[in-house]
Structure 1
Amino acid sequence: MVSFIKADAIKCTQPNKVRMKGFIGKRFEANRLNRLRLQEEYFLLWPFQEHCPIGYGYHQPHPDITLGDWHGEFLGTWVSAASLTAWNTSDEELCKKIDILVRNWLATQKEDGYLGTYDEKDRWKSWDVWVQAHDLIGLLTYYHYTGREDILKAAIRVADRVLKDFGPGKRPLHKTGPHRGMASSAILEPLIWLYWETGDKRYLEFGRWLVDEDWEQPDGPRLISSLLSGLGVAGTPCPKGVEMLIDFAGLLELYRATGEERYLKTVLVAWEDIVRNHLYITGSASTGEYFTPDFVLRNDGVFRIGETCVTMGWIYLNLSLGKLTGEARFFDMVEQSLYNHLLGAQSPDGRGWAYYVGLRDSKRYRWHTDPECCPSRGTRMLALMPLYVFGVDNEGIVVNFYEKSEATLTLNSGVEVKIEQETSYPFDGEVLLKFALKEPSYFTVRLRLPGWCEKYEVRLNDEPIETLVDARGYIVVDRVWCNGDTLRMNMDMPVRVVIDKFGNNLRVAFMRGPLVFAADSSYLPERCLLDDIVVLLDPIEPAKNIRVLKENMDTVHLVVPVIFVEPNKSRDAWRGERYCVLTRRNGEKKITKYIELVPFFEAGNKDPICYLGGVSRHIEPVINITYQVWLPYIWA
């Protein structure tokens, strides 16, 4: 394998060396049992076996389950997610399912290496290269899991078929696929992975050509020049969310291979712009799947905001930046997105996913969305999480996420350390780490200090100790560690009342730890609407009268004082009409009560309409509003 020119500051944990047992772990298990295991093979295979026509429309032979000719991406994404999950859990049933599916998949590979969903006459049109990129993602993950050389050879054949037609002196890639070639450019990251595996510099040179020449053509995406000139992500020629984020991940991989600082700078400039101008408080972005130029972060689901693909792409990019730089701020972004918007898009049983998730919306969890991109990417994102809970750097152990878990880590010195993490995070701020090692050893333990945390205490073997926070944002504890040592961190988790400088005038949101809270219609008094609520805040200490209600270890609610106008009375029978007749006006009668706010991931989940079977269009209309994050307030 080829070594990085720019090595990662943090080395990830192998999937089989860590177990998640807390809140994320439960969602991971639901993902394994109720999504990955139950996936229909024919749904993934038929585009490769029977091929898709070009364009957007109902396609045979399964007109009920697919729209669009990008359907081929789902198989590679599923194989990647399933391989990581089987590797982590030793799930034999899932492993057999992967083996059979991959065998049938590779049976469709052509003699020239092409592994796609288009007839020869349609080769390289539309989403074809995008499909090849996801082929490589799936095959290379499966190769790392199994070590099978025939899988690596199949991946090389896929890549070489692309390089036969595209590259310096050949066809331009940006003229293939939608979004000025940004979709086709998704192949950058897995091609650099192949460079790491094989040392074949053709893949590296293709990557350089793609971003330095092909991207910068007048009709190309021009990502580097646009961003470095200060235009921001919305000012690029095509501000399409997930494709851009995936391309940034590829650009980071190219930076690792070349050390070209422009590549890293481009991604960091984009990152700053997204955080400052485009990121929802729940950690997602996008309106109608794009970064919008007006910086208005619309709340209503009718605007198709918070696409799950964009949420996944943002988390994925931050995981890459975090391990590259070792900086806690990137893992802070992961935490914000993961606990709120990503898990808010996954049904609690792990079976369904929502395509869009607004901040004033209803959840629409579906087994199949049309297209299937959001469920498949959400599934893969959860499968990746075990790799990042712990890490190893040049000095010792790095704890990136607080999750009940256990891991076996091999330090750069060769010392093996078993670490167990006990915590109810994100519902509680207490974390206990237990260390097991054969003999005393000197190394450093770094604990990510979340950006929201202002007060904390660290205890070593139940004795308080003084600690420092390094420039990367981690609490540093370095010493000679012995078998049985414990490290306990207590983070204060006060309720935070948040205002929005750019919108949501005279409204507030509520946070505690990494969690964002929402008002849920299921917890309101009878005949009270979400729009009737006005939060009462103490003018000196806004969070003073807000209580934390811990129902169980899987959630936490806030009890908030509110006033609302007594609901107007209308006729009980709507008679199928759009409008009803008001029968009595209540004037200005106001009632003071307390209501419960629920975590965003839980918001709207009691509405039975959330869980419809069958196949639903991604543009399924919003027919009712069951929750909202930003609430009007007055001073008590």
Structure 2
Amino acid sequence: MAPPLSRRILLQAAAVAAAVPTLSYAASGRAAATAAAPAAWSVLPFALDQVALEPGVFAGKRELMLDHARGYDVNRLLQVFRANAGLPTGDAVAPGGWEGLDGEANGNLRGHYTGHFLTMLSQAYAGTGEQVFAEKIGTMVGALSEVRAALRREPEVLAVEGRFGTAAFNERGSYQYVDLPSSVLGGATAITVSAWVRPTHADNWARVFDFGDDTTRYMYLAARNGSGVPRFAITTGGAGGEQGVNGTAALPIGQWSHLAVTIADGTGTLYVNGTAVARNTEMTLTPAALGTPAHNWLGRSNYPADPVFAGAYDEFDIHSRALSAAEITELQDSRAADSSAGRGDLVSYAFDETSGSRFADASGRGLDGTLRRTWGGPSHPGFLAAYPETQFIALESMTGSDYTKVWAPYYTAHKILRGLLDAHSATDDERALDLASGMCDWMYARLSVLPAATLQRMWGIFSSGEFGGIVEAICDLHALTGKPEHLALARLFDLDKLIDACAAGTDTLDGLHANQHIPIFTGLVRLYDATGEERYLSAARNFWGMVVPHRMYGIGGTSTGEFWKARDVIAGTIGATTAETCCAYNMLKLSRTLFLHEQDPKYADYYERALYNQVLGSKQDKADAEKPLVTYFIGLTPGHVRDYTPKQGTTCCEGTGMESATKYQDSVYFQAADGSALYVNLYSPSRLTWVEKGVTVTQSTEYPREQGSTLTIGGGSADFELRLRVPSWATAGFRVAVNGRAVQGSSTPGGYFSVSRKWRAGDTVRVAVPFRLRVEKALDDPFLQTLFLGPVNLVARDPSTEYLEFGLYGNAALSGDLLPSLTPVPGKPLHFALNGTELAPFAEGTEDPTHAYFRRAEPRIVFGNTDSGVANPAKDDGTSLLDEVWAAAPFHGKSALVEHVRSTVAAWVTAGLLDRADGETVVATARKATFVS
């Protein structure tokens, strides 16, 4: 059924594979991240182990996350994988939230968090070298290897201590059951079914046994019905025709209970632990009415939506007569074989097996049972997941979204794949690479046979078709394996409608799920690296420009309620569920990837904005061994209190939050591809080991508490150009001194200041970048503003749920700096007071109610804290007289400002916007006011 598309792509991929050099692109890479980079990269990143974080805000936040990583038991994450493979899970308890069988939407996203955790551990190991992280990685990779091997095999019995001897245990989440031969009921008109069970979970409608053809003809015993008590029923007319009996009390969890059902002479009786608890004397149906059922199952229901029984079985017998009450009582203390009733003459299973997948029938009829999975098994030996392959299969025929049935299986596969690649990069564990390669082999086998139209439909489905950054990960794998099938697989995820629109510069983002689409474009850039196809890079570049600034909040985040709205609507989208943290993570990743191709400082400016504000602020400032304490959404509504444990933990954003907190240093430095230059993109306390040049570069700074940084060269000597980023907000000057002597150069905001020389050990470079207080206006409401001091977003801490009103011109400096209107809070760097309200950095991870946006209110004309008493007039577009005055800053002296006030007032008076007498008062006020320079 393979369409021409897959064959064409495979041939193209083979040709490209021969031409593209290999590269390990993972940020955690301990191997040289600069080796054999794509020719398209004009700068190269440094690996995390080449950039050490020095004490500062980033190191402090990271340490909180490292404490979590050190203390968390990874067996809890592995529980769902082991269960899916039918392996013992021990005492491990899966985490809550989106992980585990009881997570949201039936646990359909379970396994994703394990991938995030592997990436975090890999980055933590690369960044610190602590062996504890490598050991945890080894444990996880080893376990996942065992899981894949178990999935490849037929399921095998888990033998546990039974009521008598051993018992067969069915791990919850394994989807395993015992399949019995079709003749098990033998046409009997009277019957006794006897079983010892130990349920481990209170799943309603989980079957102890179910013998039938479908949902019309069947006979079953459920450990719990809808009311939580045992139920036996038989029918030839579906659920409405059931004849049955119900127990009176729930079976205890984790304890052995004996259940028995008898049918004879029109009477059905249910026994629990030797006592008759229910009787129906009007049962006209007998097992003979079912004929020879096609499905004879222990643990599985003929209703596909019912859960599989979780727990242990011991001593299952079927007799072709109704045992007496005394005989059933006798079974409480002895094996069937040792009782007066004896073994079942229709079937008898002691469950004494300790290996294999067969259960011997001791009835003499030779009706051995076979352990099976409800979903059969993987379609390819490379399959690896924490749930059955059924979600992947179902997606192929879906036409609409339903995350309770299919919830982003390829997104989950991406997280696992990415974690394995990072684990391999960090520890050189070949098992991790083998698992990753196998996953892609399996995906290629699944997807390459689908028609192109099916793939386009799949990837366009909200949530269910989400595949995250899988293309980037596959391209990174292809760089290691060189297998053309892997590159062909990456291209099978092309969502052509989106790619073509963005490549053409057509903005179609309104209404799209933000984080479903952002990581797609990072993958497209990597596809461009591998194939040279220009539309991939053009689409990614244009897409970035559709988000920044058109759908960006001041902190760097994007999306509201996970979705994008119309272009340039910011104020109109602010709510309690704005700025999903995953979106910021993925926009940073895309910005970094684009920067490798074109060193436009706008990418670095954005990186600084989102990293120093939303990403830092998304991590709570306290450690927790149980939770990473990272936000999902950051509401920008007035008085919002951040939730650092959303949805009980283990969401996508907590996963990316763990990753962010262990790679803060990944974009501080870059080197030119030819080694001729070093880019310093972020001012952050850190130490770079530039192996190729034989030098180190140490940044000593308390930035952003300090308005500058000092770089010190160590090691040997080397010629290179030092390119220091001049932030776009650095309008108050940017000064550089080498060894104490000022250096002349271009300091244009939004550019780079370059210093070329032969650097020697001990050389120092002092960068001074004065901060100014400024506002950024919402694109659709200029009166709704957010406040910045240099790179730092300042938020008001106030419980009010209404927008606060602030005026900032009252003591503005001649330079145009608004900072003099604020009052510093003693002993609290970057904290200020305004009108009795405290302003603090967004990056502080507290639970204070905050206001990221405020309403600008300048009701009267004030200069240098001198109030003129004159109302501040405004034009039809909202521009006030004070706006127009201060738009001309900086002023070279007070006289220049007064002259500008005079000319501005005259124009407003002439336009009839200001009374002449009031205008004279305004000029007089400016003349007598005292200004900060």
Report the equivalent of 1:14.
47
Distance 1:364 1:120, change over 3 A: closer
Aligned-partner Cα distance in 1 for 2:490–2:749 = 32
Report the equivalent of 1:610.
none
Aligned-partner Cα distance in 2 for 1:59–1:506 = 40
Per-residue deviation, 1:88:
1.1
Distance 1:26 1:450, change over 3 A: same
Report the equivalent of 1:588.
none
Aligned-partner Cα distance in 2 for 1:471–1:559 = 28
Q: Is the 8 A contact 2:806 2:857 kept in 1?
A: yes
- Equivalent residue for 2:109, pick from 70, 74, 84: 70
Aligned-partner Cα distance in 2 for 1:436–1:370 = 43
TM-score when normalising by structure 1: 0.81
Per-residue deviation, 1:558:
2.7
- Equivalent residue for 1:116, pick from 385, 390, 401: 385
Distance 1:324 1:294, change over 3 A: closer
Moved more, 224-233 or 338-347: 224-233
- Equivalent residue for 2:832, pick from 558, 564, 569: 558
- Equivalent residue for 2:509, pick from 218, 222, 234: 234
Distance 1:117 1:185, change over 3 A: same
Q: Is the 8 A contact 1:442 1:480 kept in 2?
A: yes
The answer on 1:32 being equivalent to 2:313 is no
Per-residue deviation, 1:230:
4.0
Report the equivalent of 1:484.
762
Report the equivalent of 1:379.
658
The answer on 1:446 being equivalent to 2:723 is yes
Per-residue deviation, 1:192:
0.7
Amino acid in structure 2 at the alignment position of 1:202: E
| 3-state SS, counterpart of residue 445 of structure 1 | strand
Task: State how 1:526-545 maps to structure 2 within 5 Å.
Answer: 531=803, 533-538=805-810, 541=816, 543=818, 545=820
Aligned-partner Cα distance in 2 for 1:159–1:517 = 45
Q: Is the 8 A contact 1:521 1:530 kept in 2?
A: no
- Equivalent residue for 1:208, pick from 491, 514, 519: 491
- Equivalent residue for 2:529, pick from 256, 259, 269: 256
Amino acid in structure 1 at the alignment position of 2:522: A
Distance 1:544 1:108, change over 3 A: closer
Q: Is the 8 A contact 1:518 1:629 kept in 2?
A: yes
Aligned-partner Cα distance in 2 for 1:60–1:322 = 35
- Equivalent residue for 1:352, pick from 612, 629, 634: 629
Aligned-partner Cα distance in 2 for 1:231–1:326 = 24
Task: Tell which structure's C-alpha radius of gyration is larger.
Answer: 2
Aligned-partner Cα distance in 1 for 2:501–2:463 = 14
Report the equivalent of 1:573.
none
Aligned-partner Cα distance in 1 for 2:756–2:838 = 43
Report the equivalent of 1:404.
685
Q: Is the 8 A contact 1:77 1:134 kept in 2?
A: yes
The answer on 1:366 being equivalent to 2:649 is no
Aligned-partner Cα distance in 1 for 2:432–2:603 = 33
Gap runs ≥5 in structure 2: 1-20, 23-35, 86-95, 153-380, 396-405, 863-933
Aligned-partner Cα distance in 2 for 1:69–1:298 = 35
Per-residue deviation, 1:424:
1.2
Aligned-partner Cα distance in 2 for 1:7–1:280 = 31
- Equivalent residue for 1:271, pick from 531, 544, 552: 544
Per-residue deviation, 1:225:
1.9
Aligned-partner Cα distance in 2 for 1:291–1:266 = 18
Distance 1:442 1:202, change over 3 A: same
Report the equivalent of 1:156.
437
The answer on 1:101 being equivalent to 2:140 is yes
Per-residue deviation, 1:367:
7.5
Q: Between the two proteins, what is the percent identity of the paired residues?
A: 22
Per-residue deviation, 1:355:
1.0
Distance 1:233 1:547, change over 3 A: same
Q: Is the 8 A contact 2:97 2:647 kept in 1?
A: no
| 3-state SS, counterpart of residue 493 of structure 2 | helix
Aligned-partner Cα distance in 2 for 1:392–1:102 = 33
Task: State how 1:532-611 maps to structure 2 within 5 Å.
Answer: 533-538=805-810, 541=816, 543=818, 545-547=820-822, 549=824, 555-560=829-834, 562=835, 594-602=836-844, 605-607=846-848
Distance 1:378 1:185, change over 3 A: closer
Amino acid in structure 2 at the alignment position of 1:373: C
Per-residue deviation, 1:379:
1.2
Render the CA deviation track for 1:293-312: whole Å, top value 9, x for unaligned. 26432588754111111111
The answer on 1:84 being equivalent to 2:123 is yes
| 3-state SS, counterpart of residue 795 of structure 2 | strand
- Equivalent residue for 2:427, pick from 135, 138, 146: 146
| 3-state SS, counterpart of residue 664 of structure 2 | helix
Distance 1:195 1:60, change over 3 A: closer
Amino acid in structure 1 at the alignment position of 2:722: V
Per-residue deviation, 1:41:
2.5
Render the CA deviation track for 1:499-518: whole Å, top value 9, x for unaligned. 33412x53432211111111
Amino acid in structure 2 at the alignment position of 1:376: G
Amino acid in structure 2 at the alignment position of 1:537: Y
Moved more, 382-391 or 259-268: 382-391
Aligned-partner Cα distance in 1 for 2:100–2:415 = 23
Q: Is the 8 A contact 1:239 1:291 kept in 2?
A: yes
Q: Is the 8 A contact 1:30 1:349 kept in 2?
A: yes
Q: Is the 8 A contact 2:777 2:784 kept in 1?
A: yes
Amino acid in structure 1 at the alignment position of 2:59: G
Distance 1:83 1:267, change over 3 A: same
Moved more, 139-148 or 66-75: 66-75
Root mean square deviation, CA, Å: 2.9
Task: State how 1:188-199 maps to structure 2 within 5 Å.
Answer: 188-199=471-482
Distance 1:205 1:494, change over 3 A: same
Per-residue deviation, 1:118:
2.5
| 3-state SS, counterpart of residue 506 of structure 1 | strand
Per-residue deviation, 1:408:
0.8
| 3-state SS, counterpart of residue 447 of structure 1 | strand
Aligned-partner Cα distance in 1 for 2:143–2:385 = 13
Aligned-partner Cα distance in 1 for 2:516–2:753 = 35
- Equivalent residue for 2:499, pick from 212, 216, 224: 224
Q: Is the 8 A contact 2:685 2:702 kept in 1?
A: yes
The answer on 1:428 being equivalent to 2:696 is no
Distance 1:529 1:294, change over 3 A: closer
Per-residue deviation, 1:382:
2.5
Q: Is the 8 A contact 2:98 2:651 kept in 1?
A: no
Higher helix share: 1
Aligned-partner Cα distance in 2 for 1:230–1:282 = 25
Report the equivalent of 1:48.
81
Amino acid in structure 1 at the alignment position of 2:786: A
Render the CA deviation track for 1:577-632: whole Å, top value 9, x for unaligned. xxxxxxxxxxxxxxxxx4321111237x254xxxxxxxxxxxxxxxxx54343233
Per-residue deviation, 1:543:
1.1
Aligned-partner Cα distance in 2 for 1:264–1:463 = 42
Amino acid in structure 2 at the alignment position of 1:549: P
Aligned-partner Cα distance in 1 for 2:667–2:456 = 33
Report the equivalent of 1:631.
855
The answer on 1:494 being equivalent to 2:772 is yes
| 3-state SS, counterpart of residue 61 of structure 2 | helix
